Amino acid sequence: MNLTLKVWRQKDGASQGQMATYEARDINPDMSFLEMLDVVNETLITKGEDPIAFDSDCREGICGACSLVINGVAHGGHRGTTACQLHMRHFKEGETITVEPWRARAFPIVKDLVSDRGAFDRIIQAGGFVSVNTGGTVDANCLPVAKTDSDEAMDAAQCIGCGACVAACKNASAMLFVSAKISHLAILPQGKPERDRRALSMVRTMDEEGFGNCTVTGSCEAVCPKEISLDFIGRLNREYGKAILKNRIERQGGD
Ligand code: SF4
Ligand code: FES
């Protein structure tokens, strides 16, 4: 396949960026989008030009690094598919494809298509974990978990922290990500003791990092490569509301 790429190039976070045009020649339709970018970069390097910077790691849809907006849609618009799992056969011969980075105040651009998603790490550090007593080994099945609960927790735990939900949201809200992280822990018995502190701390950090508010447009769910449901945002709101209420009652010395 032969394609034309319009790619966002930006030297660093302080510089102005602009779209640049490249030709992608002799692309195998079975290549992934990232492999196609590799081919373009090899050509640029051969010509002594600066290759296009983009993020990737696993290239199999599990790490969340491949943060690309392709033809205006985070991850390219194929349901349940990360940019690294998107294949070139989904594009037309001769097509012009635009490639841009995530754009959100909380995800500043580092270079070209690479943005700094450290804000997500700081939200996880604020409470996205279970404090573990590493004493003796716990017997298997000593904490029974209902099948419906384990299924729902597993659905939420599929979030790979890619940030597409933020990139797609007109408010750059991180609610879908935070709701998935809070839910998968709050649903399981191991996560319940810290659920209030977790909800308060993670939501506070989300706000401090500069993410916008959720107005339930659903664009986050539409682009999420792990098909995280908007229902988890409802659960997050309930978790957060209960935590605020309990916190207030405790401060007033009530029960
Ligand atoms: S909720 Fe979906 S889109 Fe958002 S970070 Fe998690 S996997 Fe990515
Ligand atoms: S590179 Fe890991 S999910 Fe795409």
User: Rounded to an integer, what distance in angstroms lies between the CA atom of residue 115 and that of residue 101?
Assistant: 7
Domain containing 240 equals 117-246
Q: Give nearest CA residue, ligand 1 atom 2.
A: 224
Residues 15 and 94 occupy one common structural domain? yes
Exposure b/e, 23-60, CB count within 10 A at least 16 = b: ebeebeeebbbbbbbebbbeeeeeeeeeebbbbbeebe
DSSP state of 76: T
Listed in sequence order, the DSSP H helices in the chain are 33-46, 118-125, 147-157, 164-168, 175-186, 195-208, 219-223, 231-251
Q: Is residue 253 part of a domain?
A: no
- Asked if residue 39 has its Cβ within 6 Å of ligand 2, the reply is no
Residue at 144 is within a domain: yes
* Among candidate residues 56, 77, 111, the one where a domain is terminated: 111
Q: Are residues 90 and 106 in the same domain?
A: yes
Indicate whether 146 and 208 sit together in one domain. yes
* Same domain membership, residue 195 and residue 222: yes
Q: Are residues 133 and 34 in the same domain?
A: no
162 exposed, middle or buried (CB, 10 Å; 0-12, 13-18, 19+)? buried
Pocket of ligand 1 (CB under 6 A): 64, 159-165, 176-177, 180, 224-226, 228
**Is position 252 within any domain?**
no
Does residue 142 share a domain with residue 160? yes
CATH code, 171 = 1.10.1060.10
Q: Answer whether 62 contacts ligand 2 (Cβ < 6 A).
A: yes
Rounded CA-CA distance 149/145 in Å is: 7
CATH number for the domain spanning 14: value is 3.10.20.30
Whether residue 127 sits in one domain with residue 94: no
Q: Which tokens is 45 given?
A: 């390097």
- Which 3 state secondary structure label does DSSP give 153? helix
> Of the candidates 111, 142, 163, which is a domain's last residue?
111
Query: How many domains does the chain divide into?
Result: 2
Q: Which of 32, 113, 70 is nearest to 223 (CA)?
A: 70
Residue 180 domain-assigned (yes or no):
yes
Residues 173 and 91 in one domain: no
- pLDDT tens digits for the chain (255 residues)? 999 999 999 999 999 999 999 999 999 999 999 999 999 999 999 999 999 999 999 999 999 999 999 999 999 999 999 999 999 999 999 999 999 999 999 999 999 999 999 999 999 999 999 997 777 877 878 888 999 999 999 999 999 999 999 999 999 999 999 999 999 999 999 899 999 999 999 999 999 999 999 999 999 999 999 999 999 999 999 999 999 999 888 888 755
Task: Check if 66 has its Cβ closer than 6 Å to any atom of ligand 2.
Answer: yes
114 in Cβ contact with 83 (< 8 Å)? no
pTM beyond 0.75: the answer is: yes
Ligand 1 nearest-atom number relative to CA 160: 7
Q: How many angstroms does the Cα of residue 34 sit away from the middle of ligand 2?
A: 10
- Which of 202, 171, 167 is closest to 83 using CA atoms? 167
At residue 173, what are phi and psi to the nearest 5 degrees? -85, 145
Q: Name the one residue in this structure whose structure tokens are 């985070």.
A: 74
- Residues 46, 152: Cα–Cα separation, whole Å: 49
Retrieve residue 224's tokens.
Answer: 């999420």
Domain end: 61, 76, 111, which one?
111
What percent of the chain is modeled with pLDDT above 70? 99
Count how many residues are written for the chain: 255
Is residue 239 domain-shared with residue 169, that is, in the same domain? Answer: yes
213 SS3 class = coil
SS (H, E, C) 92-112: CCCCEEEEEECCECCECEEEC
Residues 80 and 184 in one domain: no
56 CA: nearest ligand 2 atom: 1
Q: Which residues pair with 22 in a beta bridge?
A: 5
